[in-house]
């Protein structure tokens, strides 16, 4: 009989219904503050551009948008080059994800190119100017350096300049382009009924 009593006493301490009820643990992960993209906010939207100056001529399209509750910015650019006497018509495109890894700029832009290169840029905004300085990457063109700049020209336009430096050589202008904000596409007119 004593064994049964001792067994019941032990069960009462071990059983959750007889013992003290313990609340489940709750965990919270502190969410980082939302990045401050205000110096770049004017770029959000769709843009069309054309190269300026020397050949080859090219047409460009740029789209900039927010993603993930404005925690990143997505850049997408495509370039269509016209044929020249020495080169056929070609197309290039790239997309980039811009983040703010620190409490203040520089921002970081990781780009993915249709040519297969994965490159990294440090991005700084100073008034109407935005600078993209090449900072390596996972698969950059070996020995080559790149930089680009955007200079705002009013509310509805900007000039983009892209410069390239071959291994051991100085930078040269790859292209310059003037962009204007793309107009929203208009819906097709309804067919007239008879």
Going by pLDDT thresholds of 50, 70 and 90, the confidence category of residue 19 is: low
List the domain range (segments joined by +) for residue 134. Answer: 38-181
Which range among 47-56, 66-75, 104-113 has the greatest average pLDDT?
66-75
**What pLDDT sits at residue 145?**
92
Instruction: Note whether residue 8 is domain-resident.
Output: no
pLDDT > 70 in the chain, percent: 82
SS (H, E, C) 78-103: EEEECCCCCCCCEEEEEEEEEECCCC
pTM: 0.79
Going by pLDDT thresholds of 50, 70 and 90, the confidence category of residue 185 is: low
Given a cut of 70, whether residue 191 has pLDDT beyond it is no
Given a cut of 70, whether residue 44 has pLDDT beyond it is yes
Instruction: Note whether residue 26 is domain-resident.
Output: no
Instruction: Note whether residue 24 is domain-resident.
Output: no
Question: What's the CATH number where 135 sits?
Answer: 2.40.128.20
Q: If we measure between CA atoms, which residue out of 60, 126, 125, 143 comes closest to residue 134? A: 143
Q: If we measure between CA atoms, which residue out of 162, 142, 139, 141 comes closest to residue 151? A: 162
Instruction: Note whether residue 192 is domain-resident.
Output: no
Instruction: Note whether residue 157 is domain-resident.
Output: yes
**What pLDDT sits at residue 194?**
45
Instruction: Note whether residue 13 is domain-resident.
Output: no
Q: Measured between alpha carbons, how far is residue 73 from residues 15, 47, 54, 59, 105 in Å?
A: 54, 15, 32, 23, 14
Instruction: Note whether residue 191 is domain-resident.
Output: no
Instruction: Note whether residue 1 is domain-resident.
Output: no
- When divided into structural domains, the chain yields a total of 1
pLDDT tens by residue, 114-159: 999 999 999 999 888 999 999 988 888 889 999 999 999 888 899 9
* Top-confidence residue, 57 or 187: 57
């Amino acid at each position: 009989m004593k064994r049964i009593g001792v067994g019941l006493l032990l069960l009462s301490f071990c059983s959750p219904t007889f013992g003290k009820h313990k609340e489940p643990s709750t965990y919270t992960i502190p969410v980082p503050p939302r990045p401050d993209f205000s110096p770049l906010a004017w770029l959000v939207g769709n843009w069309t551009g054309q190269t300026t100056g020397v050949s080859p001529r090219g047409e460009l399209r740029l789209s900039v948008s927010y993603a993930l509750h404005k925690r990143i910015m997505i850049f997408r650019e495509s370039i269509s080059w016209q044929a020249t006497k020495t080169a056929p018509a070609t197309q290039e495109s790239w997309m980039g994800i811009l983040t703010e890894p620190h409490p203040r700029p520089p921002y970081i832009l990781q780009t993915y190119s249709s040519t297969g290169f994965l490159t990294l840029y440090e991005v700084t905004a100073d008034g109407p100017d935005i600078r993209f300085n090449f900072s390596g990457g996972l698969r950059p063109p070996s020995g080559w350096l790149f930089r680009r700049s955007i200079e705002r020209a009013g509310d509805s336009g900007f000039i983009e300049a892209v410069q390239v430096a071959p291994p051991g050589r100085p930078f040269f202008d790859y292209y310059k382009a003037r962009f204007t904000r793309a107009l929203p596409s208009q819906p097709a007119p309804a067919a007239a009924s008879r």
